[in-house]
Structure 1
Amino acid sequence: MPERSPRRRILRHGAIASLGLRSALIASGQLALDLGFAHAASVLAMRVWPSPDYTRIAFELESPLKATQRLQTTPPRLIIDMEGVTASPERLASMLPRVNPADPVISAARFSLLKARTVRLELDLKTGVTPDVFMLPPVATYRHRLVIDLYPAARHDPLRELLGDRRRPPADRPAADPLNDLIREPRGGSATQREPQGGRAQSPRNPPRQSAPPGVFTIAVDAGHGGEDPGAIGPGGTREKDVVLSIAHRLHALINSETGMRSVMTRTGDYFVPLAQRVMRARRARADLFISIHADAYIEPHARGASVYMLSERGASSSSARWLAEKENGADQIGGVNLATRDRELRRVLLDLSTSAQIRDSAKLAAEVLHQLEGVGRLHKREAEQAAFAVLKAPDIPSILVETAFISNPDEERRLADPQHQQQLAEAIFSGVRSYLIRHAAAPRSPAA
């Protein structure tokens, strides 16, 4: 029987092509972005995304523009001059969302006209920052974007605060070296063991039930998409990023209510976290499992049911799995990652490392979660499928991606938006995780409190 045509994400459109950015750091601290604009840039929208780690401001533009930034230390202030802007300062001020008093970085923002078609944005800051200003070309439903990322000079680490001193890595494993973290040997199992045959996850044999080993199991709960990346959007306007965040919070609460388990979330609000950072946050937390939560979409509205995916070392188990992985891996492009400055070595290691032991354990976890999801609703696939999902590539953490339902199906969209159904999905995933830990897990990476 021929393979059905690959599913497609509603909002995904290919990969970003390089713009060939010309950037130069000037001794005075100014950074100029000159993208060779030929036409005046009309500002279509402005968005502000505060998060625990950084604040992002995004200008959506009809065409690229030239931006020059200058950082002032006393008082702390970032000044950005944008050349070729047609809107007046008053018009821009009306488009800028009100600054959230809880924003960790920005205290006030204002526009002024520097000269004809050059508008100045001044950001009063609560603390010193390391700014990253860059342009993004059109992708998905977005036009050109000028992105301003403001990272506190003294980086805040919410994971460290949450987990406390007892979660600190051993002295021989410095937390400041993420690349060293990534290339450490996987815990448990032999790296030479083969993954399930045939490119498809097989249902694992369940060993005799046993008591969970002493210690605290840490579960990384990853709500897909966020911020500039809404994920798939249902016919009724329901956004994937909102639904999966709600399910993730519910799963987080269930895990934290269970003795011997602890949850850490890769994002807790509506902001974007790059795929590599999601994996790194799980590894910094020394997570025992990684669960990425999504809502599927297909071009035809009749597709329905939940699916679970895991990593593959030898190619996708189906064309639909391959296409889904390609689209999910494009989240960085839609969410907005500065490709000119992203750590290339970190990207290479993240995308290259995988282990047979991790895949074997992921297959067991996937089977347990699928079994529980079947009690909530229809399954789209009764076995876990495999593909090269970047967010699942922590080499030593069993990792799965759960597509809870098809948000492109009007009936399933309504169910996904229902808090009661969200709770049922969270409980099913939690039950699958708990069953895996009891049946299959070795000792947790974290000692008992």
Structure 2
Amino acid sequence: MLKNSSIFKLAILLITFSASFFAQSANKLEGVRVWAAPESTRIVFDLSQSPSFTHFTLTNPYRLVVDLKKSVNKVNLAKINNNSKLVKKIRKSTPPEKGTLRIVIDLAKPLKASLFALSPTAPYGNRLVVDLSTNGATVKTKTQPSKTVSALRDVIVAIDAGHGGDDPGSIGPSGMYEKKVVLQIAKKIAQKINATPGMKAVMTRTGDYFVNLNRRSDIARNSKADLLISIHADAFTSPQPQGASVWVLSRRRANSEIGRWLEQKEKHSELLGGAGEIIQNTDNEQYLAMTLLDMSMDQSMAISHNIAGDVLSNLGKVTKLHKHKPESASFAVLKSPDIPSILVETGFISNHREERLLSQREHQNNLAKAVHKGVVKYFAANPPINSLLASKSNTKHKVRSGESLSVIAHRYQVSVSSLKKANKLKSDSLKIGQVLVIPRA
């Protein structure tokens, strides 16, 4: 028979072995990242395994409690970089049972919480994503004072800096993140747009946080944007490709190898940002399928192609071009049927020389100037009706293939007879390239 001391030692040994076994097999919380947006906050928990979790909320004070089953903490929660106005603190609490890691998120006010797990997608491993947002919050725009004389409006340009937050985008040879450099360029473009009388810029993101691709188009639409410009920095599997390019939506697959690579990168971006399930939602797919058939898509695609040409022409004056004509690919951020949209690849971040250029303030400013000039050139020649730009002088229109007097008259909301009179036309025939003066409506 075993003596009492031997039994005690064996018990201690078994407890020690069990604790050691649990520590090795437990899911480890290895990192916590907080991404604060103006209206929401995303918290990402980096884990060694796929998480098993439950959650609930508490009031007085407001808290979100997350229980991670069979998990241990390896993070100093007191040293988390938290710049969110919605999240006060992230801390541990007493678990309901042994082996559970209880995390408490102290909230500044009642928030809507959405939690989901993500499988490994390079450069990240297993993740638990917590999205917090004000319940039922809507984007509020400043009310414009009523104008008694006229209601002339600005041309609205939505500037979209690609990637952000948990999605770094492409990473250059020296470690430069695409999300950082494109935000810098996007802000410079926005500044130039805002400095142009009769034009106004709206940014889809102003800081380092992720905005899912459907939401970017929604922001542009809610702002009544006349154009959406998405800014990116290209990448490829080899360091040789270089040069800027401008992309427009294709209803088919991309027409180049690099285009197909970029399409795949966009899907990867959604997975990194944690919004892949939104893009795959059946209702959204049906919505896109229907709107792609709408005639407004044809019109916005035609306008997008013309603007892309003007932007590309100006980019060619300040940097090397990858292609001298706009390219086509299927990007979700360009699929808004009612808003002309272009995607500008400012250069190849995977190329050593261009990565270095993209980090330079002067080069960023030159790229911003080129994009701005291309946009201004188009809207100066084709100002929207009732806009300040349209009122400055007689609008001029360059006839394109397939356009007729009736089509042009309808676009500018003038009569065919007034259009003929303003241009002293004796017949309805037009020539491609012919410049017409558009009378004021």
Q: Does the aligned pair in 2 maintain the 1:286–1:445 contact within 8 Å?
A: no
Give yes or no for the alignment of 1:412 onto 2:412: no
Matched with 2:415 is none
Q: Does the aligned pair in 2 maintain the 1:276–1:347 contact within 8 Å?
A: no
Point out the structure with max Rg over C-alpha: 2
Shift of 1:446: 9.3
Matched with 2:89 is 108
Amino acid of the residue matched to residue 282 of structure 1?
A
Q: SS of the counterpart of 2:33?
A: strand
Match of 2:80 among 97, 102, 106: 97
Q: Does the aligned pair in 1 maintain the 2:198–2:389 contact within 8 Å?
A: no
Shift of 1:76: 1.1
Matched with 2:343 is 401
Q: Does the aligned pair in 2 maintain the 1:275–1:331 contact within 8 Å?
A: no
Shift of 1:319: 3.3
Structure 1: which 4+ aligned runs deviate by more than 6 Å? 444-448
Matched with 1:392 is 334
Q: Deviation string for 1:358-384 (max 9, x for gaps)?
A: 111111000000011011111000000
Give yes or no for the alignment of 1:68 onto 2:51: no
Q: 1:102-251 residue pairs with structure 2 within 5 A?
A: 103-114=84-95, 115-157=97-139, 160-161=140-141, 163-164=142-143, 215-251=153-189
- Residues in 2 aligned to 1:387 and 1:342: alpha-carbon distance in whole angstroms: 19
- Residues in 2 aligned to 1:39 and 1:440: alpha-carbon distance in whole angstroms: 65
Q: SS of the counterpart of 2:116?
A: strand
Cα 1:134–1:314 shift into 2, 3 Å? closer
Amino acid of the residue matched to residue 78 of structure 1?
L
- Residues in 2 aligned to 1:232 and 1:341: alpha-carbon distance in whole angstroms: 21
Q: Deviation string for 1:297-356 (max 9, x for gaps)?
A: 112212110000000124433233233123224321111126289864234324663321
Shift of 1:119: 1.4
Q: Does the aligned pair in 1 maintain the 2:116–2:130 contact within 8 Å?
A: yes
- Residues in 1 aligned to 2:124 and 2:187: alpha-carbon distance in whole angstroms: 28
Amino acid of the residue matched to residue 338 of structure 2?
D
Give yes or no for the alignment of 1:85 onto 2:71: yes
Give yes or no for the alignment of 1:285 onto 2:268: no
**The 10-residue stretch of structure 1 (399-408 or 331-340) with the greater mean CA deviation from structure 2:** 331-340
Cα 1:440–1:238 shift into 2, 3 Å? same
Q: 1:47-58 residue pairs with structure 2 within 5 A?
A: 47-58=33-44
The higher relative CO (CA closer than 8 Å, separation ≥ 6) is in 1
Cα 1:299–1:319 shift into 2, 3 Å? closer
- Residues in 2 aligned to 1:391 and 1:166: alpha-carbon distance in whole angstroms: 32
Give yes or no for the alignment of 1:435 onto 2:377: yes
Shift of 1:447: 10
- Residues in 2 aligned to 1:245 and 1:164: alpha-carbon distance in whole angstroms: 27
- Residues in 1 aligned to 2:348 and 2:226: alpha-carbon distance in whole angstroms: 28
Amino acid of the residue matched to residue 428 of structure 1?
A
Match of 2:195 among 254, 257, 260: 257
Shift of 1:154: 4.8
Q: Does the aligned pair in 2 maintain the 1:215–1:444 contact within 8 Å?
A: yes
Cα 1:400–1:153 shift into 2, 3 Å? same
- Residues in 2 aligned to 1:302 and 1:399: alpha-carbon distance in whole angstroms: 28
Match of 2:258 among 297, 312, 320: 320
Length, aligned pairs only: 359
- Residues in 1 aligned to 2:100 and 2:389: alpha-carbon distance in whole angstroms: 57
Q: Deviation string for 1:158-200 (max 9, x for gaps)?
A: xx33x53579xxxxxxxxxxxxxxxxxxxxxxxxxxxxxxxxx
Q: Deviation string for 1:58-117 (max 9, x for gaps)?
A: 0111111211111112221111111121226xx4425x51432xx231112211341433
Q: SS of the counterpart of 2:381?
A: helix
Q: Alignment RMSD, CA only?
A: 2.5
Cα 1:314–1:110 shift into 2, 3 Å? closer
- Residues in 2 aligned to 1:386 and 1:340: alpha-carbon distance in whole angstroms: 24
Q: Does the aligned pair in 1 maintain the 2:242–2:322 contact within 8 Å?
A: yes
Amino acid of the residue matched to residue 40 of structure 1?
A
Amino acid of the residue matched to residue 364 of structure 2?
Q
Matched with 1:14 is none
Cα 1:309–1:409 shift into 2, 3 Å? same
Q: Deviation string for 1:373-401 (max 9, x for gaps)?
A: 01111100000011111100111211100
Q: SS of the counterpart of 2:55?
A: strand
Cα 1:418–1:341 shift into 2, 3 Å? closer
Match of 2:368 among 416, 426, 429: 426
- Residues in 2 aligned to 1:447 and 1:381: alpha-carbon distance in whole angstroms: 31
- Residues in 2 aligned to 1:383 and 1:337: alpha-carbon distance in whole angstroms: 32
- Residues in 1 aligned to 2:321 and 2:385: alpha-carbon distance in whole angstroms: 31
- Residues in 1 aligned to 2:133 and 2:288: alpha-carbon distance in whole angstroms: 23
Q: Percent identical across equivalent pairs? A: 40
Cα 1:436–1:151 shift into 2, 3 Å? same
- Residues in 1 aligned to 2:280 and 2:238: alpha-carbon distance in whole angstroms: 36
Cα 1:388–1:131 shift into 2, 3 Å? same
Q: Does the aligned pair in 2 maintain the 1:232–1:295 contact within 8 Å?
A: yes
Cα 1:353–1:413 shift into 2, 3 Å? same
Q: Does the aligned pair in 2 maintain the 1:108–1:123 contact within 8 Å?
A: yes
More helix by share: 2
Matched with 2:238 is 300
- Residues in 1 aligned to 2:51 and 2:256: alpha-carbon distance in whole angstroms: 42
**The 10-residue stretch of structure 1 (351-360 or 275-284) with the greater mean CA deviation from structure 2:** 351-360
**Which runs of 5 or more residues in structure 1 are unaligned?**
1-37, 168-212
Matched with 1:179 is none
